[in-house]
Structure 1
Amino acid sequence: MPTESSATELTAVFARVQSMLLSLEHATTAVHQLAQVAQHLIPSAAGAGVSLIAAQGTRTSTGATDGLVEAADTLQYDLGEGPCLTTWATATPQRINDITDDDRWPEWSAAAARAGIRSMLSVPLMFRDRCLGAMKVYATVVDAFTDHEEQQLCLLAAAAATLLGSAQTRDAPQRLSAALQAGMEDRQTIDRATGMLMEQRATDAEDAHAVLLTASRAQDRPMAEVARQILERHPDPQS
């Protein structure tokens, strides 16, 4: 069953992330490995990375898996525009399905397209209501990322943000463990609700997941909370 496979996959990823913090001295080293995990977890990604932005506005990039990511990030910093900067400024995910047909960041998009990028996904790194930067994946084909990939990257970003934000505190392992456990529980709840909607609406996993995402945004509530409501009361969130 797809939902069980997804839960198993994420469980393995989170276990690896937790061991990073427990065994690596520097959080930035673990973040670099998180970028590699993101690329591995999302097969359509040609590269992944983390953009960190200091409180005073200093922009830096770490955890890039390859030169494609570094080049795309450098373009954003040089031009002062791009999806990762917007993700940091608004604390919201940004997705580009076709970079040649997206006019939100015209200079960056044109330059990135020349570098071979065709689509990308960027999600915020949130720690205690503060956005530390963005985690992102790039692809060399259009329409590489769906709502499913966005949800997966958001969970990884939550772990990375906890890692970065609390690495200097004594309770960092406990904080990360709690965050990962909560993320895993949310993922399982979303997967179960997705399966229920697939049966109720006779649709596939992507459409069912889109129903959850639409309801989450319309109600301004976390997707996991909407999913829990479905499992408890069995309503159709769009009814």
Structure 2
Amino acid sequence: MSDSREARIAAAFVDLADTLVDDFDPVDFLYRVAEHCTSLLDIHDAGVMLAPHGGPLRLVAATSEQVRLVELFELDAAQGPCQDAYVQARVMEHDLTVPGRWPEFSARAHKEGYLSVHAVPIHLRGETIGVLNLFRSIPDHLAGADRILARALADATAISLLQQTTLDHHRALGAQLQQALHTRTIIEQAKGFLVGRQNTDPDMAFQRLRTYARRHQLRIADVARDLVNGTLSATLDQPTDRRAPRDRLHGR
């Protein structure tokens, strides 16, 4: 392993550990998890599914529109490696070019350009709360070192989420994950809003939302909500009134 990659791995784990802040944003955190996976592992795309306490798996973060559609298809079909990794609480690897247990999922994933998938369950104190879904554009399985790193990233995700809970951590975690899923819905509405009004695609629309939120030190959900409500310009250049975004969003 090169010094450069070792440094990037160390920086990723430091970033994922930095969650003990008042304005912790679970959605942005899980997008960072997915992006670290694509940066550090030999994969093409990544997605994160979580299950609020007592509920079904839901998609929270994805690195591209293509993988988002594949993940949503899997959830709708209720069959696929990510579903099995969650239910069986073990890693699932699948070469999508070989007939297997999930023909409909394999066909859809192959249509989007993915030839293999590696699904890693996210465990929290003996409970499986989600799955890291890693998609490759080649049919081979992940190398041994990448499999170990993928498991470590899943563990770091669980530990970081745990840091945000109280002694009654299951109830707090369930509320946090519900918040993440609600936020995801708002973000998808804002992405569709931008796609429908500008010459852009869903991936670029999300990047514009995220860039604007970071530039103005706002939560991405607040930017998305204001955009859909019409209190923020569709150009993401300025709000529709003369107050600063932070003052407007917080009612000052």
How would you bin the TM-score normalised by the shorter chain? 0.5 to 0.7
Match of 1:29 in 2: 28
Q: How far did residue 6 of structure 1 move? A: 6.0
Shift of 1:99: 0.2
**Number of aligned pairs?**
169
Matched with 1:154 is 151
**Paired residue secondary structure (2:158):** helix
Which protein shows a greater Rg?
Answer: 2
User: What residue in structure 1 maps to residue 120 of structure 2?
Assistant: 123
C-alpha distance in 1 between matches for 2:10 and 2:70:
30
Superposition deviation, residue 119 in structure 1: 1.0
Residue segments in structure 2 that go unaligned for 5+ positions in a row: 170-252
CA shift, 1:10, in A, is 2.7
State the distance in 1 between where 2:136 and 2:101 align.
18
Aligned residue in 2 for 1:141: 138
The structure that is helix-richer by fraction is: 1
Write the mapping of 1:35-184 to structure 2, written as runs, cut at 5 A.
35-42=34-41, 44-96=42-94, 98-143=95-140, 145-169=142-166
Identity %: 24
Report if aligned partners of 1:27, 1:163 keep a CA contact under 8 Å in 2: no
Conserved? CA contact 2:47–2:133, under 8 Å: yes
TM-score, normalised via structure 2 length: 0.60
Gaps of 5+ in 1: 173-239
The alpha-carbon distance between structure 1 residues 138 and 23, as it changes in their structure 2 partners (threshold 3 A), is farther
Q: TM-score if structure 1 supplies the norm length?
A: 0.63
In structure 2, the residue matched to 1:195 is none
- Superposition CA RMSD, Å: 2.4
- Structure 2: distance between partners of 1:48 and 1:58: 20
SS in 2 for 1:161: helix
* Pair 10,164 (structure 1): closer, same or farther in 2 beyond 3 Å: same
* AA of the residue aligned to 1:49: G
Cα pair distance change 1:148/1:24, threshold 3 Å: farther
